[in-house]
Amino acid sequence: MRRVLEIGAGILAAFLLLTLLVRIHPLAGEIFNPFVVAVLLIGLLRGEAAGAVAGAVAGLVADTFSLGLFGIAGIALTTTGFLAGFISRKINVLAVTRLLVFFVLLAAAELALWAGLTVLVFGRPGPWSGGLLLVQPAVNAVVAASVEKLIRKVKIRHER
Amino acid sequence: MARFLKKRQNALLLAGLLFAQLVLLSLQVPIGDAPSLFERTAFAILAPVQRAVQAVFRGLGDLWSGYVDLRHVAERNQTLQEEVYRLRQENALLREAFGRFAEREASAAFLGSLGRSFVLASVVGLDVANPYKSIVIDRGSAAGIEPNMPVLDSLGHVVGRVVPPLGRGEATVQLITDDGSAVSVLTEGSRVLGILSGDGKSGRCWMKYVAATNDAVQESEILVTSGFDKIFPPELRVGRILSVGTDTSLFKRIGVAPFFDFPELRVVAVLTGRRAGGED
């Protein structure tokens, strides 16, 4: 039950943050995607099953307010959430540099998967906003790594 | 068997989720624009949440700007007492404000002159993935709004049209800057006919299907709706031609800046067309 609440809270926080950012500037959502950050963190901290479920929910929420088709963002985020949990169990990614590289690669894979599915379904590439989307994996990774370090710090302090 | 399933439960969960989403995706493809029951349900649940979030942020913003304005008023009062030139400045500001007021009066008169009823609505949500594609407004089927109704800004410029999904208290508006939109337009001076479509990413539009041999279209010309699409009434102002170019195709490449101001889009008018007169 606690895990379900954590996933729900994470997705809700990402949704609220994205709504606020897009209200501030329409292109903010192209540079930074809080849904990707939430899914990466849930996958890393709670395992591949939680990551996959969080990805599916986040994708459906993201697609609800888009005129596109349901499922495209969902498939990309589900796969990313699962991989975040699965890979982090196999290799140690806790060091800062490793964590950053890990998140950059996964965020880039999510973007590539989304772009590939868009081409496959619509027969043409999605909106790239003058290449702004290419910055997104790096920004998402930096934010996700910072939040992960913050969570770990708070956890350690709490345990003491 | 149970042991195998337990061992592979995560992989099976992933496969199940991906399969479910692929089914969802494939269910939507053949029906095109019509929203599925799932899509309508999700919209009905999440639209009020987004509306509430916008209301909270707007309320906080108003509170803050109210506080800042109050401080500015106090400062200005003090300055006005001390320096005469401040009075001149304020006079200039008042003239500008009066000009804006007159413009709004004209827009209200314009909307009334269309001879169609309209419903005013506030913008409560944006398409977070593709900002220039659609918006969500706070009036829906309960206010008589139906798909394909034209949406204008406060100055009577074309913003877009209502599209599904449509809730009782919310509606989605496809913007003319969406690459999937199409509006039949005419150039105001030379009366050249074309189809206006958005580029979906920068807030600009293209006027399509004007023959490359047509030299009547000029830069800075104003585009108005033709009415041929049976959605938008004729002679509504849409945008201004930014560039006229040619490429290797049979048609001209005409760039258009829409008149409606995306960042300032807070209140819109939906033309319901149910009765002649003003807002209901």
Peptide bond just before A34 cis, omega within 30 deg: no
Say what the ipTM of the complex is: 0.80
- From B112's Cα to the closest Cα of chain A, the distance in A is 30
Token pair listed for B28: 């939507």
pLDDT tens column, B68-126: 777 777 777 767 767 755 566 666 667 666 665 665 566 566 666 666 788 888 888 87
pLDDT tens column, A62-92: 887 666 667 888 899 999 999 999 999 888 8
A124 contacts chain B (CB < 8 A): no
Predicted local confidence at residue A120, as pLDDT? 80
The owner of tokens 């993935």 is: B129
- What is the spatial distance between Cα B142 and Cα B167, in angstroms, rounded to a whole number? 8
Predicted local confidence at residue B197, as pLDDT? 94
> What's the CATH code of the domain at A116?
1.10.1760.20
Least CA distance to B132: which residue of chain A? A26
**Full domain range(s) for residue A66:** 2-159
Q: Which of B7, B9, B14 to mutate to test the interface with A (most CBs of A within 10 A)?
A: B14
- What is the spatial distance between Cα A127 and Cα A68, in angstroms, rounded to a whole number? 11
- From A160's Cα to the closest Cα of chain B, the distance in A is 33
pLDDT tens column, B203-235: 899 999 999 888 888 899 999 999 888 899 888
What's the sign of the alpha-carbon dihedral A46, A49, A53, A59?
A: positive
Number of domains in chain A: 1
User: Out of A43-52, A71-80, A126-135, B199-208, which region has the weakest mean confidence (pLDDT)?
Assistant: A126-135
- What is the spatial distance between Cα B193 and Cα B254, in angstroms, rounded to a whole number? 12
Contact A67 B163 (CB under 8 A): yes
Residue numbers in A near B17 (CB within 8 A): 52-53, 55-56, 78
- What is the spatial distance between Cα A79 and Cα A39, in angstroms, rounded to a whole number? 10
A140 vs A28: which has the higher pLDDT: A140
Q: Which of B17, B170, B197, B265 to mutate to test the interface with A (most CBs of A within 10 A)?
A: B17
Percent of chain B predicted with pLDDT > 70: 79
